[in-house]
Chain A
Amino acid sequence: MGDLLFTLSQVVRTHFFLPRPAILDPVLTSNEQLLRLEGFSGCCGVYARVDLPAAAFEGECQGRGTTNVDFNTDMRNALLRLHDDEDVQFAVGADEVVLSKGNERTIEKKVKMPLRWIKSFSEVQAYQPKLVLKMEVSAAEALRFVRTLPKAATPRMPSYAVSVNRSIRLSQRPQPGAVPILGTHRVRVIEPLLARAKSLRIWLEEDSGASGWEVCFPVGSFFLMISPEVFRGFSGEGQMLAALAKPPSDLVVAKVRANLKWRSQIDPCVLANELALGEAEVEGALAVLGSQGLAGYDAALGRYFHRELPFDLAKVEAMQPRLSNARKLIEDGQVRRLGEPAAMVFEVQGAGALHRVRLSAEQPSCTCPWFSRYQGQRGPCKHILAASLLAEDLESETARA
């Protein structure tokens, strides 16, 4: 457990892109089944999560809740000194975390959560339901693979984890089934864990290239998710925008929220039956709640879980400039439908040019440089969002008429 938490704190205190001051405060969520610790690297491009099920503890979980505390040098050193066969107490309270071993007590106090994390948590929750399991290898093979990752001279182009027989190797060539890695140093953080792990599972969000690296232990797991590119923090992605632009009704969201009840696994299908709602509605509501920090997603279980991140929910939409810019475009009358309504082609004013937005069922497109570069990988651009919002408004108007 010490190694897991230490590695989590390593991720949280590291800025993988540019040297910046460390942020040291993972978020802890506790309920009867699980203690879960989550955090982001300083650059917000790496998400790490430690899941410690009840079996990892001899005691009982006394309560439910979420807190976030610093992991300073004392705590990190205390974690490093932990042994499997030692009697250690780990107490998580609303305002502090205490690690006790014999007479030694290490206390960490609750701190304010950085704003970038709020957006990052939202985005990670949007990525995780789309993760697909690509490979699973033994810990020895995983360790062999991680040790081959370049240490000094690192590639500038994406590398790929490629399945070979029952092992993995690093490749510089995209190929079917390969998992892209930009910034191999970000994956290397799991190396110290692999010598004692059971296996490594690698997940991929195919549209964007974000990948998840789950180190499985006999009890508990460590989940590392890396953003598609080193310079791209999760906080700057736009995966939530579509959900936020067209959320389910407030009533549905409220109903689902009222039924989260600190569950460690939420099955949308079961919840939909319980609440007499459609499964898609529940999933939409969970996505919105995820964006507000009220639900997380566990890719390994394929389930949402309840946790309440300690931040002001009102800030969530305010921190989505693309969405607010899209709304402003509509307010300023800078979005116009072209041709037949069925064609779903719009003209949206951009910086110095009128962009064309096509809202097709498969993939919307826009002629702006942002969309041209990322092809929707980083979420819709403001022009597509504006066109979608207008299209919805026009549809509603038509329906009313």
Chain B
Amino acid sequence: MTLDDLERLLLEPSDLADLPKAFEGLDERQRVKLSSPAQRLYRQLSRNKADPGASHRLKDFFARRQGNPLMGWNARETQNATLALFAVGPASAVKRPNVWIWPQARPLLDQIIRDRRPDWLDDWIAYDLERDFHQLGFATLRAWIRDGLCRKPSVDGYYREFAAFLMRTGFNRGGEVAPPISRQLLADPELLDDVESLFRIESNAFNTNAWLRKGANAEYETWPDALVKLAAEGRLERGRLLDLAVKGLGLDLKQNQLSGFAAFYKRLAPRPDEQLRHQQNYIDLLRRPVGHVVKFAVEMLAEVQKAGGLDAKTVLRELPAVFSGASKGNAISALRLINRIIARNNALAGEGLSGVSEALRHSNTDVQALALTLLETHAAELDQRQIDALAGLDDFLPASNRPRLLKLISHRPASPRLGDADERTERPTESQAGARSEAASYEPLSGAPCDRCVLSAAEEIEPIASVDGLIDAILHAIEVVDSPEDVERIVDAISRLAHERADDFTARAAPVLHRLDRRGGGANGMIVGPNGLGSALLDLVQTWLTGRLRETKDADIPYYTTEDAFVPMIAHLRAIAERVARRQGRPLLSAPTHKGGWIDPLVWIERLHSLQHQPGIAESMDLRLSLLRLAPDNRETALARGATLGPPLRGIASFALGGDGRPGRADRMNYATWIMAARCRLTYRDWTPEFAALSLHDPWPDSLKPARYIWRSSYWKGPRYEQLPGKAPVFEVSVVFLGRRQTPGRPGILDGLVRAASGQIATDWRALPTAAANRRLEARSFSGELRATWVAQWLSYVWPQNPAAAQMRGAIQLIRRIDSESSGWSPGFGHMISLFQRRRPWREPGHLLLCAGLIGKDADARGLAVDALIEGIEARLFEPELFASTLADLAEGEWVKWGRLADSLTPVRQVSQVHAAAVHQALEALLAKLDLQQKNIFRLMEVLVEARAVTGRPLAKNVQDRLSRVRGGGRSAALAKRLLLDA
């Protein structure tokens, strides 16, 4: 074969089956001659690019491919070249990661290998079997072994493939009906020797996953089925299989497989003599770090103990290792075994009780309680050394169990330890943290937000001072926005520094433009999405960088939600961009002075003074947004300083800050600014009477009338996936004002005529940031602006006095993903930021958001909700009664997971007595509203038990009544009894 023949063969084969024939009969010398050209051809074809010295045929071939880079990878010609590598190439050529034979070409590979019988075959097989995805089928490999083409591989991959191939089903194999494993093994008896390796290597043979049986036929056998059958028939030695299984349990294999070993061992039903023979193996397994393995070991030792053959001394020495594991069941079983050993031989009580005391370090209170019961039962047998050891364990106990230990020790006083007294008075326990004086009760704050100061000097925002600083800030924000203030500072600086353009500005700006042009940046970067806020911000930055106004029109992109809430903000950004294009720099009225989106009214008045002569300032979106951000601090002083402003700003400022100003008929065309001033003045008031003179037709919540949120929790049930029944939370929210639904019907011609005749003006939600915030709370699709965390955070900065709309959006988003883990695609935790504002009452939307965070699976949102609750209790923003009623309403949907709530409340109640008291009050109020027979409600009772032990508060009468009605022998009934007993 010439090189030209080879090239033609690979590029223009008449029939794929001809390829192996073309190489047939070539000797190794001839193959070596073709090796380098074949490798060159393979390289060019796989990367889809001809070498400079390539033939015209090859160049023409690539020209026909038209440079499509994807054509090279899986094209038929590349596959031909790959086969050619096996036909003529050395081991190094076929042992490359990207050398891959597609399934349809594998019969050809078989022909080529059988013809050539390369000396590197064993080496390549071992390499291929150890790849993550290998190409050599087990049937082919067995045939090669049988026919003497290769030796049996010794690599683990061979045994993995052995296990997987024999247990195959028809799934993904065209419905192939594979014979039962036992029949396959007997058909190729040499395979019986390979069975032992299944207990040594990690494979799927003993996995217990149900999906492995998908597509299985009626006579399908799992590996355990087959081995049990073959052992019963005497084809495999049963004792040997038992030995292998118990030894396999001591290996570092995946937990599922270990679990399978344990189940297989039990299926073989070891006799007492076999159990006795394996006793040392069981003992060794007690220290393994896998719960399933320890469970197996404890169970088997219990069997040996029942049979009377237990090496009790050794077992007592090793059993305490079980208590270092997390499993409650294993620890309880171990304690019971110790108890039985002591009961049978009291001489071992000393060693047994030492082991029992180790159980006090376990994380589960039930384990500790059982250990204490055993210690109390055998208190007389405890020696001084053991009492001393127990005294050092009180820190490991929660408040509910500690008194029992202290009582136990006090009967037998512990030996004093050096320095112990000092240390113990100083060391705070879980229950001692926090102020004891406040422990008895927890009182939430109440009142309107404007009553309080929210500004703090530590939270002042430092404006960007220079162009270089602005470039650096933008570059960083493109990659990641650390907080919404970063974007506020950038927008403010662009507005202020618009006129500063040094000679080398273009060069300085070039890296930013380059990054923006390439659409670089991180998932939480400043450039969010192609539409809405994202494009408005991008346009603003590029306008500043290039000096030319850029205005991108929103494209019609399905599955991407732009939030109506940002429409006023986008108008604001576009207005800035227009000014920046004209190089007119000026400060923004709406730039926050403090974190959280707040503006100090004193600074605001100064800004008004300096900008009052700017044309259009009174009607600007900048002014409206600034009004919503005015902090409750310093308003009186600001009001006084605003007295010298000219009209109409004086009137607006006076009205917003609590002065005498009121809107009049002349202010009709600037109604939006006046409405924002009204919302600034008193957030939750109905301002309709004061605006009567303006004759407005205003159908928007949080415009003249405050918004109310009506929500309902339920569930949807029906077929979801492959006919499996599904259940999903449903959470519906309506925004209303004065009992009216938000979305008015499309105004009819008659309505319009009537309004025109009466001189009414219809308000526009686009001009009213507060109304826009309440538009369409539900996102239309999974993708949108709120996918960026900082945008979700920013939403609550638009109207810092009242972030209810942002909180409702957050609750909707979190509840939609209530059973999903944290997501990088649609992170929900950004909304939680609104709960961390000092001195701003949470009200119902805040508590709803808190609840959604606490009961969700999203670890980020849940962690922040726990933090918010801890800080909310410290700031007395948390209202236990409101929290309980919100949760009870959510529970009507029957999807609330009480275990998650208990897990969330546990770290909160551990912080201090005040926190424990707040949790106690909330749980009392909640339990009084719930059906206490619900699943996992006992987890809340466990938290209540601990909170009670810390605070010593009595149980409310109505809760006692509810608890007394809990029936059954379950955990809830036991805890209810305990709570009533302590009450």
| Chain A residues proximal to chain B, CB less than 8 Å | 10, 13, 73, 76-77, 80-81, 83, 138, 140-141, 143-144, 147-148, 150, 153-157, 159, 164-167, 169-173, 192, 195, 347, 350, 352-356, 358, 365, 367-369, 372-373, 375
Contact = CB atoms under 8 A, between A and B. Distances in A.
B284 A77 contact: yes
Nearest to A356: B508
B289 interface: yes
A143 B396 contact: yes
Contact of A169 (B317, B507, B827, B907): B907
A154 B475 contact: no
A372 B478 contact: yes
A372 B475 contact: yes
A78 B643 CA distance: 84
B433 A167 contact: yes
Contacts of B284: 77, 81
A164 B911 contact: yes
A156 B860 contact: yes
A365 B396 contact: no
Contacts of A167: 428, 430, 433, 910
B910 A154 contact: no
What 6 A-B pairs are tightest by C-beta distance, nearest first? A172-B863, A140-B395, A373-B479, A353-B514, A367-B511, A372-B475
B324 A195 contact: yes
Given A138-B427, A166-B428, A172 B867 contact: yes
Given A172-B864, A369-B515, 20 more contacts: A73-B252, A81-B287, A140-B395, A140-B396, A143-B396, A144-B430, A148-B906, A153-B857, A153-B858, A155-B859, A156-B824, A157-B829, A167-B433, A169-B911, A170-B907, A172-B829, A356-B507, A367-B472, A367-B512, A373-B480
B510 interface: yes
12 contacts: A76-B252, A148-B907, A154-B821, A155-B822, A155-B863, A166-B428, A167-B430, A171-B867, A173-B867, A192-B324, A350-B511, A354-B511
A222 B671 CA distance: 68
Contacts of B317: 83
Contacts of A159: 863
Interface in B504-540: 507-508, 510-512, 514-515, 518, 520, 522
B476 interface: yes
B102 to A, nearest CB: 26
B361 A195 contact: yes
B579 to A, nearest CB: 26
Contact of A73 (B251, B515, B864): B251
Given A356-B508, A367-B475, A373 B910 contact: no
A13 B252 contact: yes
B905 interface: no
B213 interface: no
Contacts of A171: 863, 866-867
Contacts of A140: 395-396
Contacts of A169: 907, 910-911
Nearest to A166: B428
A159 B867 CA distance: 11
Given A355-B511, A373-B476, A166 B288 contact: no
A83 B859 CA distance: 38
Nearest to A169: B907
B836 interface: yes
Interface string B959-981: 00000000000000000000000
A73 B827 CA distance: 41
A159 B510 CA distance: 36
A354 B512 CA distance: 10
Contacts, number: 124
Contacts of B510: 353-354
A153 B859 contact: yes
A165 to B, nearest CB: 4
Contact of A155 (B476, B478, B860, B906): B860
A81 B822 CA distance: 39
B621 to A, nearest CB: 30
Contacts of B522: 373
Nearest to A347: B507
Contacts of B862: 153
Contacts of B906: 148
B250 interface: yes
Contacts of B508: 356
A336 B846 CA distance: 55
A156 B821 CA distance: 9
A138 B427 CA distance: 9
Contacts of B821: 153-154
A275 B468 CA distance: 45
Contacts of A369: 475, 478-479, 515, 520
B923 interface: no
B511 A375 contact: no
A173 B836 contact: yes
B824 to A, nearest CB: 6
B768 interface: no
Interface string B842-864: 00000000000000011110111
B363 interface: yes
A80 B907 CA distance: 32
Contacts of B324: 192, 195
A180 to B, nearest CB: 13
Contacts of B514: 352-353
B252 A372 contact: no
B471 interface: yes
A144 B867 CA distance: 17
Given A138-B427, A140-B396, A195-B361, A156 B822 contact: yes
Contacts of B428: 165-167
Q: Which of A138, A171, A347 has the most CB of B within 10 A?
A: A171
Q: Which of A76, A155, A167 has the most CB of B within 10 A?
A: A155
A141 B507 CA distance: 56
A157 B860 contact: yes
A167 B515 CA distance: 45
A76 B250 CA distance: 10
A74 to B, nearest CB: 10
A155 B862 CA distance: 9
Contacts of B907: 148, 169-170
A45 B824 CA distance: 21
A27 B514 CA distance: 46
A13 B252 CA distance: 10
A160 to B, nearest CB: 9
Contacts of A354: 507, 510-511
B843 to A, nearest CB: 22
Interface string B895-935: 00000000000110011100000000000000000000000
A200 to B, nearest CB: 13
Contacts of A77: 250, 284
Nearest to A368: B511
Given A83-B317, A155-B860, A157-B829, A165 B252 contact: no
A358 B287 CA distance: 57
A347 B511 CA distance: 11
B511 A173 contact: no
Nearest to B251: A73
Contacts of B427: 138, 166
A166 to B, nearest CB: 5
Interface string B161-177: 00000000000000000
Interface in B861-910: 862-864, 866-867, 906-907, 910
A153 B475 CA distance: 33
B363 A147 contact: yes
A68 to B, nearest CB: 20
Contacts of A166: 427-428
Contacts of A368: 511
Interface in B205-247: none
A157 B867 CA distance: 14
A146 B114 CA distance: 59
Nearest to B900: A153
A153 to B, nearest CB: 4
